[in-house]
A and B are shown apart, each in its own frame.
Chain A
């Protein structure tokens, strides 16, 4: 499993776009990149997953450059309710174990 590195914390304001970058220099060919969101005292919730280029869903976009050594989770027009910890995971398609890194604590201010 590739190790991931994320900023420990980030601050932003309501209505802004927030980009959280994750480094995964040792990513393997068959690894996928997945992001989860966790609110205090709740279980993590899946946000988005991708393999290459760009993936978009109703809540976020995921940008993955050609070398796949990093990825960026983009949250458009954040609100106070986006305050949470965001985890970047890298897993093989045949993965059995799951490793959560330390995550990025995102704080949104009015």
Chain B
């Protein structure tokens, strides 16, 4: 089944404790991206990747890191999480670029205390 998976789905952590949210797609898509969704602010793109080893900032990259060592994986790293990073996070992938149909993962709900 074609899908985007994220882990964990729910996470409670404390300020400053490094964490990684994994994202994996099995559709051989070149484009992958991360979003956060907050009430009243909608979906905002954090980082995106056009292909392996190619990543770039979205609209809200501060406090986040990503890597794209393999085509299928695009982990989101919070080196030192803060409470303002409490949010619902989505990973997505698309065939080649942003205009292609984006397939979203199920979401990761993060609470930073």
Q: Which residues of A contact B (CB under 8 A)?
A: 32, 34, 36, 38, 41-46, 49, 87, 91-103
Given contacts A34-B99, A44-B90, 4 further A-B contacts (CB under 8 A): A32-B99, A91-B98, A93-B97, A97-B48
A38: B residues at CB distance < 8 A: 43
> Can you name 12 A-B residue pairings with CB atoms under 8 Å?
A36-B102, A42-B106, A96-B48, A96-B56, A97-B48, A98-B45, A98-B98, A99-B45, A99-B59, A100-B42, A100-B45, A103-B42
Q: Which residues of B contact A (CB under 8 A)?
A: 4, 33, 35, 42-45, 48, 50, 56, 58-59, 88, 90, 92, 97-99, 101-107, 109
Q: Please, how many angstroms separate the alpha-carbon atoms of A103 and B42 in the complex? A: 8
The smallest C-beta distance from A71 to any residue of chain B, in angstroms, reads 15
Our count of residue pairs bridging A and B at CB distance below 8 angstroms stands at: 64
Q: Are A97 and B42 in contact (CB under 8 A)?
A: no
Q: Which of B48, B88, B101, B103 has the most CB of A within 10 A?
A: B101
B56: A residues at CB distance < 8 A: 96
* Dominant SS among interface residues on chain B: strand
Q: Are B107 and A41 in contact (CB under 8 A)?
A: yes
Indicate which residue in A42, A46, A97, A103 contacts B98 across the interface (CB closer than 8 Å).
Answer: A97
A41: B residues at CB distance < 8 A: 88, 107, 109
Q: Are A97 and B99 in contact (CB under 8 A)?
A: no
The smallest C-beta distance from A101 to any residue of chain B, in angstroms, reads 7
The smallest C-beta distance from A14 to any residue of chain B, in angstroms, reads 27
Q: Please, how many angstroms separate the alpha-carbon atoms of A98 and B105 in the complex? A: 16
B33: A residues at CB distance < 8 A: 98
Closest B residue to A98 by beta carbon equals: B98
